[in-house]
Structure 1
Amino acid sequence: MFHKSKKILSWLVIFLSIISLFLSSWIIIPAPNMSLLPLGVGAPEVSPWLLILNLFSFLLAFFFIYQRQLKRLACIFSLIGLLICSSVLIKIAPTETQMAQAMKLELGENYLAQIPPQVSAKMQSQPFSLVNSFRGISLEKIRHKREIIFATPAGVPLEMQVYQPPKVGKYPALVVIYGGAWRSGNPSANPEFNQYMAARGYTVFAIDYRHAPEYQFPAQLDDVRTALNFIRQHATEYEADTENMVLLGRSAGAHLAMLAAYQPDAPPIRAVVSYYGPVNLTEGYNTPPRPDPINTRAVLKAFIGGSPQELPQQYQIASPISYVNRSLPPTLLVHGSRDHLVEARFARQMYENLHRLGKTAILLEIPWAEHAFDAVFNGVSNQLALYYTERFLAWVLFNR
């Protein structure tokens, strides 16, 4: 009976080692399809958890498996998992340094001194906290209003949610646009970020737009512009300072944020923040990523209504990079180097074009991060992105 129990325990430990390695492997393996993409997105972000899991499985194998070959096999699996997880953690410090340098290069060595102390005091004190990886980033109570209808184009009700600081006042407006390949999603996405920013002194508007393929471009841009007009008209009601407005989007929402901010007749926009947003739709169609889990060409055809060969003008009009030659607000680009939906080369291309023409632009690139990395709010990548995003916003909106 004792021998049988040891055998069962050995196989359970081996199974744990295999699971630990399987989960960790998605830190380096690109997801081939959308079903597996959550593993590719999440694994790097929870690498501290996976490190502990691999270490735990290694210790169990070392001390509780008595058959030599099985012990060796389980220990090897766990050690490989430990090495993969460590590959993320050892890059955190140099990535912090790189991001800090990118901010100072564009905003000035003393840009932090330009942010009022009362604003700085509310921000994260460090770019990455191992404690926050396990405990989570603390969220404070704010005021939250839902189901605010701001338009009904073609009979489609479009809603927004408003996150407000706890105290009545007048605050800078942060307009947040969700992603979803222009075909899915809603304003309830990323609520932790919206709540966090509202607690830091922003009135956050999470807005909606119509989806492809039923509604093709420029319907989505029209809806964003309609939302901005609504916000300006109801600024007093929602305690928003619309002369201090920033647009922030993720993926398809980042694309729309850049387009809306870059239009010649855009309302006053102080800055735009793009988290892994598409910028060059023609090139994105012609050279899709490999692997291509989302089927980029099908997504773009549904959004625009055809290929670049069929609708070249539409692709140009729909590409934010086409608008770089005019006066533009400061732009923060945040991107993962391992993004297999919108490759990081496009963010680099956008940054280079903006910088070449003397526009204020910052590129923060996270070496291990996949698309939608900030879905894990207390993840490694989002901690870094959040730290520098809130400093960029504070520099833009509270600069003394």
Structure 2
Amino acid sequence: MIRLTLIFITFLVSLLAVFRAPTYHLWLLAIGVAEFAWVFITLTFVLLVAGFITGKYQLAGTLLGIITLFILLSPIFRAYIVARQLPAEMDAALGENEHASGIQPFSLLTMLKDYPQQPVPSKTLPYRKDDLPSSTLDFYPAQQPGLRPCVIVVHGGSWSSGDSKQLPELNNYMAHAGYHVASVNYRLAPAFRCPTQIEDVYAAMDYLREHAAVLQIDTSNFVLLGRSAGAQIALLAAYRQKVPGLKGVIDFYGPADMVWGYSLPANPLVMDSRKVLENYLGGAYNAVPDNYAASSPIEFADQHTVPTLIIHGENDVLVAYEHSIRLNKKLTVKGVKHFFLSLPWATHGFDYNLKGPGGQLSTYAVDRFLRNVTR
């Protein structure tokens, strides 16, 4: 009976690999189920093997365990399906032919093995002359000599939390790949509202240009990268006006249409998304509708928009997947070079583990996109 109960619990947990999480804490668990799948697969396998020792409820437990294993394996199977098409699809979208390069978008071996990468020491630099913690950035120097492109990373956190230390693994990866990385702090809501955060990004870029000779930055090759709320900031900074030297923007599951987003809020058991938007934009939509339109990157996308990489999981419960569908359609209509990496199993924050199915595919896409736009 204990074995059957444990298998039933793992079965319920495995459903997070298929369905959207109904609460905040289950969303956190969903990241682990999909991106650390081997842990849950191993646990289920151990419970299955235990069935050969005890005979009570053996058949029921074994059948349920096999079903659970298949569900837990589904993100891996689906990642292989996406990976098989991804190189050629990115070739077509980016106008290049690198699908025969031999680089694999996804590997089971990478999930299971530890490939240590030497951490790149970062230094904290003040990009504005005040004593606010938000006036600093963390600079990861490129691990290749000479003038190198620079990726400006904008953290998430519902515009009211988070900092430049968030998810440093991709920063480290990009620095080893030959890109300087500047992970930027910005002033947070509700004390500071949009467009303050966009102005902070511009100020950080001005600082990097001014110190380009010392930092060995190629000022003709900037790329913005944001996650969640930070993706809205990055997209708006990239789309709102022409930015000298900006070659592209990378959007990890960001809200692109703030007007539409307010009209269809997230599950309140996961996040009070309307309250988050009101804190950032100064009130409800019916009170300040112009603020919502002015903060929607999709409103500024036109034929002059810089190349864009969109990455989003269909099971996102914090930022609706529809944001990226709408942005993808707008960029297509306007003829903007872009690519939309859609991950059917992934939820918000899937890139927490770069070795997971979503983490591997998104890192591959980021690497391809950066090489394409910074040539």
Length-normalised TM-score, structure 2: 0.93
Q: Which amino acid aligns with 2:108?
A: L
Equivalence for 1:5: none
- Measured after TM superposition, the shift of residue 304 of structure 1 is 0.4
Cα deviation digits, residues 184-236 of structure 1 (max 9, x gap): 11111111111111001001111110111111111111111111111111112
Equivalence for 2:194: 217
The whole-number CA distance in structure 2 between the counterparts of 1:359 and 1:35 is: 38
Change (3 A) 1:112 1:240: farther
Equivalence for 1:133: 111
Q: Which amino acid aligns with 1:77?
A: L
Residue 60, structure 1, aligned to residue 88, structure 2: no
Q: Whose radius of gyration is greater, 1 or 2?
A: 1
Cα deviation digits, residues 50-81 of structure 1 (max 9, x gap): 223212211112x11122x2x23432332231
- Measured after TM superposition, the shift of residue 42 of structure 1 is 2.1
- Measured after TM superposition, the shift of residue 89 of structure 1 is 2.3
Aligned residue pair count: 375
Equivalent residue in structure 2 for 1:76, among 63, 81, 84:
63
> SS of 2:251's equivalent?
strand
Further displaced range: 218-227 or 81-90: 81-90
Equivalent residue in structure 2 for 1:172, among 149, 152, 155:
149
Q: CA RMSD in A?
A: 2.1
Equivalence for 1:6: none
Equivalent residue in structure 2 for 1:34, among 15, 24, 27:
24
> SS of 1:243's equivalent?
strand
Residue 318, structure 1, aligned to residue 307, structure 2: no
Change (3 A) 1:15 1:237: farther
- Measured after TM superposition, the shift of residue 158 of structure 1 is 1.9
- Measured after TM superposition, the shift of residue 340 of structure 1 is 1.3
> SS of 1:297's equivalent?
helix
Residue 20, structure 1, aligned to residue 10, structure 2: yes
Q: Which amino acid aligns with 1:128?
A: F
Equivalent residue in structure 2 for 1:365, among 311, 317, 342:
342
Contact 1:112 1:395 in 2 (8 A): no
- Measured after TM superposition, the shift of residue 112 of structure 1 is 5.7
Residue 100, structure 1, aligned to residue 87, structure 2: yes
The whole-number CA distance in structure 2 between the counterparts of 1:339 and 1:349 is: 15
Q: Which amino acid aligns with 2:371?
A: A
Further displaced range: 71-80 or 301-310: 71-80
- Measured after TM superposition, the shift of residue 49 of structure 1 is 2.9
Residue 340, structure 1, aligned to residue 317, structure 2: yes
The whole-number CA distance in structure 1 between the counterparts of 2:131 and 2:140 is: 27
Q: Percent identity?
A: 32
The whole-number CA distance in structure 1 between the counterparts of 2:301 and 2:322 is: 17
The whole-number CA distance in structure 2 between the counterparts of 1:391 and 1:148 is: 29
Q: Which amino acid aligns with 1:140?
A: Q
Contact 1:261 1:269 in 2 (8 A): yes
Change (3 A) 1:319 1:292: farther
- Measured after TM superposition, the shift of residue 150 of structure 1 is 1.5
Change (3 A) 1:265 1:239: same
Q: Which amino acid aligns with 2:46?
A: F
The whole-number CA distance in structure 1 between the counterparts of 2:352 and 2:128 is: 28
- Measured after TM superposition, the shift of residue 237 of structure 1 is 1.8
The whole-number CA distance in structure 1 between the counterparts of 2:16 and 2:168 is: 26
The whole-number CA distance in structure 1 between the counterparts of 2:96 and 2:223 is: 23
What does residue range 295-314 of structure 1 map to in structure 2 within 5 Å? Answer: 295-314=272-291
Contact 2:141 2:181 in 1 (8 A): yes
Equivalence for 1:151: 128
Change (3 A) 1:154 1:310: farther
Equivalence for 2:356: 379
- Measured after TM superposition, the shift of residue 280 of structure 1 is 0.2
Equivalence for 2:38: 48
The whole-number CA distance in structure 2 between the counterparts of 1:276 and 1:164 is: 26
Contact 1:49 1:134 in 2 (8 A): no
- For structure 2, list consecutive stretches of 5 or more residues without a partner in the other structure: none
What does residue range 87-126 of structure 1 map to in structure 2 within 5 Å? Answer: 87-108=74-95, 110-111=97-98, 125-126=103-104
Length-normalised TM-score, structure 1: 0.88
Q: After the TM superposition, which parts of structure 1 deviate over 4 Å for at least 4 consecutive aligned residues?
A: 152-157
Residue 227, structure 1, aligned to residue 204, structure 2: yes
Further displaced range: 144-153 or 203-212: 144-153
- Measured after TM superposition, the shift of residue 156 of structure 1 is 5.1
> SS of 1:364's equivalent?
strand
